[in-house]
Each structure stands twice: as C-alpha cells, then as structure tokens.
Amino acid sequence: MSRAVGLHIAVLAGLALAQFTLPEYHHGNLARIMVLAAFASAYNITFGYAGMLSLGHAMFFGAGLYAAGLAAEFGGIAAPGGLVLGVIAGALMATVVGVLALRTTGVSFMIVTLMFAQAAFLTVLYFGEWTRGDEGFVIASDMRRVLGLDLADPATRYWAAFAVFGAVMLGSLAVARSSFGRVLAAIRENEERTRMLGYDVFRAKLMALAVSGAMAGAAGAAYALLFGYVGATFASIQYSILPLLWVLTGGAATVLGPFLGTLLMFYLIDVSSSFTTAHMMIVGFALIGLILFFPKGILGTLRERVVPWLP
C-alpha cells in the first residue's frame, strides 16, 4: 500500500475512532464538518484538479438539498432514496449547466456559473409555495431514517456523515490518482497543449463537472437528511464562496485539503466568537495571516515544501 493511500486510510480510521472518543459537542460538530467537507471535496474536483473556478457550486449542493427535502416532504421518500435523488439531481444539473457554461473559460466561466447559481437561487424563491423560500422547511423525523435507525441519533448521524465523506474522499483520491485525474491536471496546467495532444478537453471537463456535481448533490442531500432543515440560504452565493474558501485554505488539488479547510474555518469562527463579539475581524486576520504563510493553502504549501507525494 502506497504512502498516499495509507495516509488517507489513517485519516478515515482516525475519524472513525473519534466517534467513540470525542465529547458530545465536538462529536456533533464533526458530523457537520464532514458533510460540508464532502461538499468542499466535490468543489475541489472542479477547481483544484480541473482548474475551473466555479462560483456556482451552491446550485449543485442546493439541488441535492432540495431533491432530498422535497422528496421527503411531498413524495414521502425517506433517507436512502433521498440521497440517491440528491446525487442524480446534482449530476444532472452539473451536466446541463456544464454543456452551456463550458463554452467559456476562466473568469467568464466564473461569472456564467455564478449567474446560473443565482438564477437557481431565485427560482427556489419563486416557487416559494413549495419550497417555502428562504424560511425553508423542516423534514419530518420519520423521513430521516435509514435501515430503521434514526438519523437524528448522534452515533447514527456521525456514521452516516462519515460514510458520505469517506465515499467522496476516496472518490477524490481515485480521481486524483487515475489517468482521468492526470488529464484534468494537464488541462489545468495548459489547456491548449492538452487539446493539441489529442484529448477531448470538453468531455473531460464536463465529466469533471458532472462528478463534482454528483458529489455536491450527495453532500446537499446528506445535509438535509442529517440535520433536518432545507432553506434557500444553502442555495445562495454564500455557499458558492464557502467551498472555494475552504479548499483554498486547506490546499487546492490535495485530497485532504478541503477537509482541513472546512475544519479550520469552522473552529476559527467557533473559537473566536467565544471570546470576542468582533469575531469576524479575528477570522479575517487569521485568513490573511494563513495565506501569507501558506500561499497554496496549508496542505498545498506543505506538499510544495516538504511532502511532495501528497495527492
């Protein structure tokens, strides 16, 4: 087993162990962090590996969230089905948007994805009669059951979050180390050259987007089912910027970077708001300080300087 795979198995093992050892508060936090880290990992496929700066991932996360939520609310479809629907919704949305948006690159792509995400957000509000718009709705607890276990139960929730995160993370690892991943890296480094070498750049990018969308959809569905609330806030631009922030701080184009970034940002906000009311300022300075010392994100910089084999 290579070092890389070993490291990731170790991380997963550590997280699994944490389920038994962490105090109640941090245990609950970690479940949340893992689901959001899955979202960040999904974003990493598009941004870190394929090099496409998307500002529209909130719509994929939202697609998963609403697919699961609406299915539970109106279709009586419980958790496992909701998750599957979330994955499909995310993948579908990413493919449709990708076919249109991939005609553009760089900053144009950024704005196109942003616009589609904004339109999706406004559509959620427009159909407020069913989605309850920004106020959102709560998913009934009997929809939040899997294999007879209640997802609101701390241990069950943790394992479910762990499963989703683990799947996404191992998926990212697989992508990073596969030939597909290498094509994406080539596209990121120099798209024209890759095209010239005969690769179907459009198809590769679309594939990356679809995978990314599917994973984001899974994260969204998981968030709805595990935490019981669906609201338009999660489809707003904030949720397109947050995964970008998490990935950049943790280290773009590293498999564990997104998790680290999500974990770090969560506790930065949590801890700083414990001892000051001006916590946003602490977070802001911390971000600036962090990026000054780790310009490629924490793991990205570490990989550059110390640990070159980190995927």
- Residues lying near another protein in the complex (CB under 8 A) are found at 23-25, 28-29, 32, 100-101, 103-108, 110-112, 114-116, 118-119, 122-123, 125-126, 128, 132-138, 152, 227-229, 231-234, 237, 241, 244-245, 248-249, 252, 269-270, 273, 277-281, 283-288, 290-292, 295-296
The strand pairing partners of 230, in sequence order, are: 137
Least distance in angstroms from the C-beta of 29 to another protein:
7
254 contact partners, CB below 8 Å, separation of at least 6: 44, 48, 297, 299, 300, 303, 310, 311
The 3 state secondary structure assigned to 122-148 is: HHHHHCHHHHCCCCCEECCHHHCEECC
Nearer to another protein by C-beta: 3 or 270? 270
Nearer to another protein by C-beta: 127 or 178? 127
Nearer to another protein by C-beta: 64 or 171? 64
Q: Which of 172, 168, 160 is nearest to 31 (CA)?
A: 160
Least distance in angstroms from the C-beta of 261 to another protein:
10
Strand, coil or helix: what is 98? helix
Confirm if 118 and 237 have CB atoms less than 8 A apart: yes
Least distance in angstroms from the C-beta of 209 to another protein:
15
Confirm if 165 and 35 have CB atoms less than 8 A apart: yes
Nearer to another protein by C-beta: 48 or 171? 48
Nearer to another protein by C-beta: 163 or 269? 269
Least distance in angstroms from the C-beta of 296 to another protein:
7
Least distance in angstroms from the C-beta of 199 to another protein:
19
CA distances from 54 to 209, 255, 273 (A): 10, 18, 30
Least distance in angstroms from the C-beta of 106 to another protein:
4
**Which amino acid is present at 164?**
V
Nearer to another protein by C-beta: 99 or 174? 99
Nearer to another protein by C-beta: 7 or 34? 34
Least distance in angstroms from the C-beta of 42 to another protein:
17
The strand pairing partners of 150, in sequence order, are: 145
Nearer to another protein by C-beta: 171 or 258? 258
DSSP H helical ranges for 102-237: 106-126, 128-131, 154-177, 179-189, 191-196, 201-227
Give the whole-angstrom CA distance, residue 53 versus residue 44: 10
Least distance in angstroms from the C-beta of 227 to another protein:
6
Q: Which two tokens stand for residue 89?
A: 């919704």
